[in-house]
Structure 1
Amino acid sequence: MEQYLLYVAIASATIASPGPGVVLTITNVLRYGFLGAIPGILGISGGMLCIATISATTLAAILAASAMAFTIFKFIGAAYLIYLGIKMWRLSSTFDLQIQTKQKSHKLRFAEGFLITLLNPKPIFFFMALFPQFITPSENYQAQFIALALTFSFLVVIVHCTYAIFLKAAKSGLSTPRGSKLISRVSGSFYMVFGVGLATSHKSV
């Protein structure tokens, strides 16, 4: 497998760029702390691993060839993101962090991270475009693919945990009534923007 370190650099930069998964991690850290954000991070990582696998199956070919399939898939993802955005906007500006922790289980946080990632079709095309650049034709394709997919999933955990560590220091200020209202509105706005952007995106993106 050629230029593995270059792949790691590109993958890390992609993961660190603003997106629904990053917003979810930021929100979870501010509500539940570093450990409380781990289930969501693992969900995002698991979703990326599934997408990396899907990108090498017939579903990837179907989505690449069928505008209808892509449109259906992206609207499902867009609707979910917009739903989360509206939900965030409706949160009380004085929500209690302990109450929020009890109301949202670890399983639900994992599911949110998994669905936010899985219902976005764009990573499928990202993997389809990226993987071939780092595959050595003379070597075992399956082994290389597994290595690239697992690397990306592992990097998701590393990058998002890094976000969580830095955000932990800011939690005390942002968990005040004014701070919690700000993060709810900003996060909700981002989710809705991502949802609208996904719904209006073209297949070539």
Structure 2
Amino acid sequence: MASYGLFLLLATLTILSPGPGVVLTLSNALRHGWAGALPGIFGIALGALVVAGISASSLGLLLAASTTAFTLLKYIGALYLLYLGIKMWRTQSFVPTLKDSEARPGRRFVEALSIQLLNPKAGFFFLAVFPQFIQPHGNYYSQFLLLVTSYSLLVIALHSGYALMANSARGWLSSRRGARIVGKLSGMTFLGFGVMLASASK
């Protein structure tokens, strides 16, 4: 495989860049701790696998070619990000309440998975970037599997690092003032991502 090290560098920079998944990981870690953020991290990683698989199939090419399909998925994803933004904006505390502690990890997993699946830009990343690192005379599927598996493992490793950093700040966020500040910032970030996704073009 050509330039595998370059691919790992590009993937690392892409995953580390601020995005809805990163913000969700940080907020989950602040609310539920490092271990509590893991279901969401695994959801994002699985979403990457699914989106990559779709991108490698004829369905991915259909989404890339169809303006209607792209627009529909784009607006659904934007609405979901706006919903999360409003939810975070209204946050009053990052200290788990009884209701929070009873929230099932599966819900965090599905929430993170949904963010990844409803973002058409993720699919275009795989469509545009992955072919650059696949040798045309090699086995396409084995190379593709290596790239997407590496990407998903990097998601788990790097997002876990984000979660550890956020977990160390939970003491300050035990105050109402700290929670309101971070809640408003997170909410505005999600709202901003939602607006940008809604206005994005292919």
TM-score (norm 1): 0.95
Distance 1:104 1:193 in 2: 27
User: What is the aligned partner in structure 2 of residue 172 from structure 1?
Assistant: 171
Q: Contact (CA 8 Å) 2:26, 2:162: kept in 1 or not?
A: yes
Output aligned runs, 1:37-76, within 5 Å: 37-76=37-76
Distance 2:102 2:27 in 1: 15
Q: CA deviation at 1:170?
A: 1.4
Distance 2:85 2:123 in 1: 23
Distance 2:77 2:99 in 1: 25
Distance 1:100 1:170 in 2: 22
AA in 1 matched with 2:27: T
| Structure 1 alignment gaps of length 5 or more | none
User: What is the aligned partner in structure 2 of residue 129 from structure 1?
Assistant: 128
Matched, 1:139 2:141: no
Cα deviations by residue, 1:76-117 (Å, 9 ceiling, x for unpaired): 0000010111112223x2464143532421000001110011
173-182 or 156-165, larger mean C-alpha shift: 173-182
Output aligned runs, 1:92-103, within 5 Å: 93-94=92-93, 96-103=95-102
Output aligned runs, 1:11-26, within 5 Å: 11-26=11-26
Cα deviations by residue, 1:54-81 (Å, 9 ceiling, x for unpaired): 1111221111111111000100000001
Q: CA deviation at 1:20?
A: 0.2
> What CA RMSD, in Å, does the superposition of the two structures yield over aligned residues?
1.2
Aligned length: 202
Alignment CA distance shift 1:112-1:51 (3 Å): same
User: What is the aligned partner in structure 2 of residue 184 from structure 1?
Assistant: 183
Q: Contact (CA 8 Å) 2:93, 2:173: kept in 1 or not?
A: no
User: What is the aligned partner in structure 1 of residue 85 from structure 2?
Assistant: 85
Q: Contact (CA 8 Å) 2:31, 2:94: kept in 1 or not?
A: no
Cα deviations by residue, 1:12-67 (Å, 9 ceiling, x for unpaired): 10000000000001101111110000000000111111111111112211111111
**Percent identity (aligned):** 49
| Structure 2 alignment gaps of length 5 or more | none
Distance 2:61 2:126 in 1: 12
Cα deviations by residue, 1:156-198 (Å, 9 ceiling, x for unpaired): 0011011112222211112321111112111111111101110
